[in-house]
Amino acid sequence: MHQKVGRVLRIALCLTPVLGLCGWAGGSALWPFSRVGDRGEESANRLCTIAAGELRPAQAAPAPIIKARTNPTAAVETIPGMPPVLDPTNLYSATAAGRLSLAAAGALPRIYVPNRRSNDVTAIDPATLQVVDRFKVGVYPQHIVPSWDLKTLWVANNGSRRGGGSLTPIDPATGKAGSNIPVDDPYNLYFTPDGRSAIVVAESRKRLDFRDPATMALQQSIPAPSCSGINHADFSIDGRYAIFTCEFRGGGLVKIDLINHRVLGYLRLSKGGMPQDIRIAPDGGLFYVADMHADGVFLVDGDTFSEVGFIPTGIGTHGLYPSRDATKLYVANRGSHSVRGRPHGPGSIAVIDFATGKVEKTWPIPGGGSPDMGNVTADGKQLWLSGRFDNVVYAIDTATGATRNIPVDQEPHGLTVWPQPGRYSLGHTGNMR
Q: Which CATH architecture has domain 2-62+92-418?
A: 7 Propeller (2.130)
Contacts of 236 (CB under 8 A, 6+ apart): 65, 66, 242, 280, 284, 302, 303
E-strand spans in 49-109?
none
| Pick from 377, 374, 405: nearest CA to 391 | 405
**Residue ranges of the chain whose pLDDT lies below 50:** 1-69
Q: Judge contact between 165 and 138, C-beta under 8 A.
A: yes
Q: Judge contact between 201 and 186, C-beta under 8 A.
A: yes
pLDDT attached to residue 70: 55
Q: Judge contact between 308 and 13, C-beta under 8 A.
A: yes
User: How far apart are the C-alpha atoms of 245 and 322, rounded to whole Å?
Assistant: 18
Q: How far is CA 46 from CA 34, 228, 248, in A?
A: 8, 15, 11
Q: Judge contact between 288 and 258, C-beta under 8 A.
A: no
Furthest-apart CA pair in the chain: how many Å? 60
11-41 pLDDT per residue, tens? 344 333 333 333 343 332 233 222 233 333 3
Q: Could you tell me the pTM of the whole model? A: 0.85
pLDDT attached to residue 53: 25
| Pick from 119, 123, 124, 258: nearest CA to 195 | 258
Domain range list for the chain: 2-62+92-418
